[in-house]
Structure 1
Amino acid sequence: MSAPGLSPTKAAPTRRIPSRPAGSVPPRSSFAKNLRRNLTAHGFLIGALICFALFSWYPMIREFFLAFQKTDNGGVSWVGLDNLRTVVNDPVFWQAWKNTLLFTVLALVFGFLVPFVVALVINEFRHGKGYLRLLVYLPVMLPPVASVLLFKYLYDPGYGLLNELIGFFGLPEQQWLQDPDTSMLSVVVASTWMNMGGAALIYLAALQGIPGELYEAAELDGAGVLRKIWYVTIPQTRLILSLMLLMQIISTMQVFVEPFLLTGGAGPEGSTTTVVYLIYQYAFNFNNYGAAAALGLLLLVLLAGFSAAYVKLSRAENE
């Protein structure tokens, strides 16, 4: 029996601390982990930006200023458009542009069409595609100097394999690199063989992404091989084809290695003098870095115009 006036006391309510799920990370540790991960990612990004800044962006900016300057006895002076006038008044200037455009057109005929046809042929094989891809890409893995020396041996007028081959059929020997009528075409053939492997593999990857049902529907409609290529293959790979066309134009407009090693740069009667080779002559033979930079700036503006036109056309098609 309890004492009078006294009542049993109630126990104070206890606050329950929520338990942390197993395997959870405290907020501070999660923040530190995310910070370390982001620092690593930003470290790789900063390294790439530094490489681009040193070896790509800075030379372009330096070229822009150098195009309006003249270096004389270690001193630098601003000359305005004098370097551009010097380049334009050079009689080799227009010949170099003519040869560059000729090389670009021929390279588009061979270097743009041949890899696409090679990719179409490889795509039709059911077995051995890996070996064929390796065989096609092998010239790209060879050093450019080795490939050019190989073609220089093939084109040799005395003991060259190409003249031996055409002589077997009773045809007269040709001065492939010594004749101004055939020198540029010879350079284009060598350049196409050296560089078509990468383009062929890109086209092959695009072809393998085309649904087979489209070809089956075209066959049911009675389409032959050429009609399937025209109405199925080309529309399905239009984006890749247009992008590769732009890259082909940009790369061929900057051709230098092939004519420099095959024909010494200028070629017979200046038939293989290109814009980039003329830039090389201004800079390293004439020691006129301002004129070389001015000519390089003209080439940069032209290629930037091609790129801007491609971007505008691509946006118009997507809209």
Structure 2
Amino acid sequence: MTVLTPDSRTAGPQEAPRKGAAPVRRGGAAKARRQLTGWLFLLPALVVFGLFAWWPIVRSLLISFQHNDLVNPPSWVGLENFRAVFDDPLLGTAVSNTLLFVGLGLLIGFPLPLLLASVMSTVGRGAGVYRFLAYLPVVIPPVVAILLWKWFYDPGSGLFNSALGKIGLGPYPWLESPDTAMLSLVLEATWAGMGGAVLIYLAAMAGIPGELYEAAEVDGASVWRRIWHVMLPQLRPVIGLMLLVQLIGTVQVFTEPYVFTGGGPDNATLTVLLLIFRYAFQDGEYGQAAALTFLMVLVLAALSAVYLRATRTWSKS
């Protein structure tokens, strides 16, 4: 016999929480504490990044509107630094030389790593040795590599002229002639920076499903057609990224012309970044150097925007 108490008569049965029911929302104070904790952990990185990345950018932009020689107090000159840069006859020379370096770099240095990676991906035995040899120039300090190639280019006892002399060619004034100086720089820069691109392409090729190659081979596709219709479409995002990286890197070329030739002969290897160096550390015109730097940043930002728009277009196609 069940005895009904007043409480049991008035109170309904206790329902168990239903499975899948939405959890009870916590208060806004707990959410705020979690967000505050995250920002506290992020704060040291933001401070360091702001001091060493954002503040120099802002500071250089301010200097571009000032007459600043780092000795006397800076004075505001508005757009005079930009006018002085555009009036400099060496600006056109530096821009054309930089574009020539970029063009030769794309013509020689862009397809070569992809070609080497394609060949190395088919090698079974000794693949690790070939990858080590391909990446070895990257670990050599840039100045050391340039001094080594400077000996290669020596018009008298250099390695290149000595080797070409045995077959009746040369000697060639590699770095002494305005006609061959820029090409000489591009060859060394391609050799020095090719290893990283080769490894990136090899890693991307390893991620391509083997079934695609097998299906193409069953359909009777030749090696060239498998490369053109299978490998290259799969590598399209990586190729686009490497193209942007190479464009940005070649536009900012400085070490090769500075160490090899100092911008000569007859300013044949004077680049935009080397001109910025001359403004700042030879002429003491830090305002003009900052102005030209800001213009270069705008060009690089435009290249990045074009790349991002192109990648969105590719992803939709």
Is the structural similarity TM-score above 0.5?
A: yes
Equivalent residue number for residue 241 of structure 2 = 243
Equivalent residue number for residue 304 of structure 1 = 301
Deviations 1:145-176 (A, max 9, x none): 11001100100011100000100000120000
Q: 1:130: how far off?
A: 1.8
Equivalent residue number for residue 312 of structure 2 = 315
Output the CA distance in 1 between the equivalents of 2:96 and 2:303. 17
Output the CA distance in 1 between the equivalents of 2:44 and 2:253. 29
Equivalent residue number for residue 292 of structure 2 = 295
Task: Within 5 Å, give how 1:1-319 maps onto structure 2.
Answer: 43=41, 45-71=42-68, 74-264=72-262, 266-319=263-316
Q: Match of 2:298, as an amino acid? A: V
Q: 1:217: how far off?
A: 1.6
Q: 1:128: how far off?
A: 2.1
Output the CA distance in 2 between the equivalents of 1:249 and 1:114. 15
Q: How many residues align?
A: 282
Q: 1:42: how far off?
A: 6.2
CA RMSD between the two structures: 1.9
Q: Structure 1: where are the runs of 5+ without partners?
A: 1-30
TM-score (norm 2): 0.85
Give % identity.
49
Q: Structure 2: where are the runs of 5+ without partners?
A: 1-29
Output the CA distance in 1 between the equivalents of 2:53 and 2:156. 43
Which has the higher mean CA deviation after the structures are superposed, 94-103 or 212-221?
212-221
Q: 1:132: how far off?
A: 1.6
Q: Match of 1:101, as an amino acid? A: L
Q: Match of 2:158, as an amino acid? A: G
Output the CA distance in 1 between the equivalents of 2:144 and 2:68. 37
SS of residue paired to 2:292: helix
SS of residue paired to 2:239: helix
Deviations 1:100-151 (A, max 9, x none): 0110011111221111111111100112222221111111011111100110
Output the CA distance in 1 between the equivalents of 2:247 and 2:129. 29
Output the CA distance in 1 between the equivalents of 2:83 and 2:162. 48
Output the CA distance in 2 between the equivalents of 1:139 and 1:47. 36
Task: Report the CA distance shift for 1:218/1:57 in structure 2 as closer, same or farther (over 3 A).
Answer: same
Output the CA distance in 2 between the equivalents of 1:183 and 1:88. 26
SS of residue paired to 1:83: helix
Q: Match of 2:281, as an amino acid? A: F
SS of residue paired to 2:74: strand
Task: Report the CA distance shift for 1:42/1:201 in structure 2 as closer, same or farther (over 3 A).
Answer: farther
Task: Report the CA distance shift for 1:288/1:109 in structure 2 as closer, same or farther (over 3 A).
Answer: same
Q: 1:46: how far off?
A: 4.3
Task: Report the CA distance shift for 1:175/1:133 in structure 2 as closer, same or farther (over 3 A).
Answer: same
